Amino acid sequence: MSVGPTLELRQLGHTGLSLSCIGFGASPLGNVFGHVSEPDAIASVHLAFRLGINFFDTSPYYGGTVSETVLGKALRSLGAPREKFIVSTKCGRYTDGFDFSADRVTKSIDESLERLGLDYVDILQCHDIEFGDLDQIVNETIPALQKLKEAGKIRFIGITGLPLGIFTYVLDRVPPGSVDVILSYCHYGINDSTLEDLLPYLKSKGAGVISASPLSMGLLTENGPPEWHPASQELKSACRAAAAHCKEKGKNISKIALQYSLANKEISSVLVGMNSIRQVEENVAAAIEVATVGKDEEIFKEVEAILEPVKNQTWPSGIQKS
Ligand code: NAD
Ligand code: MG
């Protein structure tokens, strides 16, 4: 067996977990980005693990539990000891709506563990908290998760969502060390890197950082985003232009975007949604290439120039308080 360069591992905050710099985002396994057959989904997870990806992220919300169920099937047949892979799932967001009550999240972890075929998950995250009452997250949800930690059903506690202000709101109000991880998405990529300014604060709070959606949920792909994508037409067309430019030059926008997101080592893992063997191979190769050879500066500069007019443009998410 040849031992080539492998994926870098990075420490996640104070958790002691060592995450592969690319994490496997399992939302596509819930058919969120188009239909995926179960054999393809399982083969993608197995290959990812063989190529050094040790971190898998899902949620009961993705595909209305389909993502968790399929990921569970893949993990059961992985043939690896439990401590060799790291699993995060979420609570509080379901296909029937949001519910961050202590009751619901306490029930929901048991259902998730059942679907995943696991005794515990490494990280349980409150999913898209900007749709909930942040004071409830602080006063009720996180204390409930603390009990799940004591019961051994979860190892670490996280919060996720789009607007960056949710993280400071919660971290400023919870007891130190009670939120181990934050998961941000669409804010550390080549078109939007606003998470960067928050990194020193997150470090000061001892929160590990996971950044998701380096391809901006499909904006930075040759095929373009799914129908439901919330970006403005302006942002969509700038990304389409960047993808077309790369293609013309014989390059791939997804590779460049992923390499951009991997550059900051304060971010422990970049979660990319994958649903095929080909995507797993391409993404692992892109990570190894940038770590060993470095990046193709010219095409990076060209893409950044095309995206300059829409740099850091985002979209509203959650309950807007006036
Ligand atoms: P992403 O930016 O990772 O894009 C995923 C899309 O890109 C999918 O259509 C996928 O098939 C495609 N893709 C992947 N690799 C490709 C390649 N090499 N070439 C072409 N296309 C490729 O967006 P995402 O899936 O939304 O985010 C990644 C993961 O992060 C999710 O699966 C989920 O686990 C997590 N996430 C969590 C939250 C949250 O908690 N609120 C939000 C967003 C994402
Ligand atoms: Mg999500």
DSSP secondary structure string for all residues of 263-312: T-TTS-EEEEE--SHHHHHHHHHHHHHHHHT---HHHHHHHHHHHGGGTT
Question: What is the reported pLDDT for 2?
Answer: 53
Q: pLDDT category, 119, cuts 50, 70, 90?
A: very high
> What is the rounded average pLDDT for all residues in the chain?
96
Chain-centre distance for alpha carbon 258: 13
Residue 211: Cβ-neighbour burial (10 angstroms; 0-12, 13-18, 19+):
buried
User: Comparing 96 with 3, which gets the higher pLDDT?
Assistant: 96
Protein residue closest via CA to atom 5 of ligand 1: 273
Question: With a 6 A CB cut-off, is 217 part of the ligand 1 pocket?
Answer: yes
Task: Report whether residue 274 contacts ligand 1, using a CB cutoff of 6 Å.
Answer: yes
Each domain of the chain, given as residue ranges in start order, spans 9-218+260-277
How large a percentage of the chain has pLDDT more than 90?
Answer: 95
Query: What pLDDT was estimated at residue 5?
Result: 81
In the chain, alpha helices (H): 38-50, 66-76, 102-116, 134-136, 142-150, 165-171, 199-204, 233-248, 253-262, 277-292, 297-307
Q: Which residues contact 234 (CB under 8 A, 6 or more apart)?
A: 309, 310, 313
Closest CA to 92 of 191, 11, 219, 183: 183
Q: Measured between alpha carbons, how far is 166 from 320 in angstroms, rounded to an integer?
A: 12
Quote the pLDDT of residue 160: 98
Residue indicated by tokens 């693990």 = 49
What spacing in Å lies between the alpha carbon of 1 and ligand 1's midpoint? 31
Active-site choice (62, 94, 169, 188): 62
- At 322 the pLDDT is 42
Q: How confident is the model at residue 186 (pLDDT cuts 50, 70, 90)?
A: very high
Which value, to the nearest 10 degrees, does the dihedral of the CA atoms of residues 118, 122, 127, 130 take?
170
Digit-coded pLDDT (tens) for 229-254: 999 999 999 999 999 999 999 999 99
Q: Whose CA is nearest to atom 33 of ligand 1?
A: 25
pLDDT digits (tens, 9 = 90+) for 48-94: 999 999 999 999 999 999 999 999 999 999 999 999 999 999 999 99
Q: Does the 9-218+260-277 domain belong in CATH 3.20.20.100?
A: yes
The model's pLDDT over 279-300, given as tens digits with 9 standing for 90+, comes to 999 999 999 999 999 999 999 9
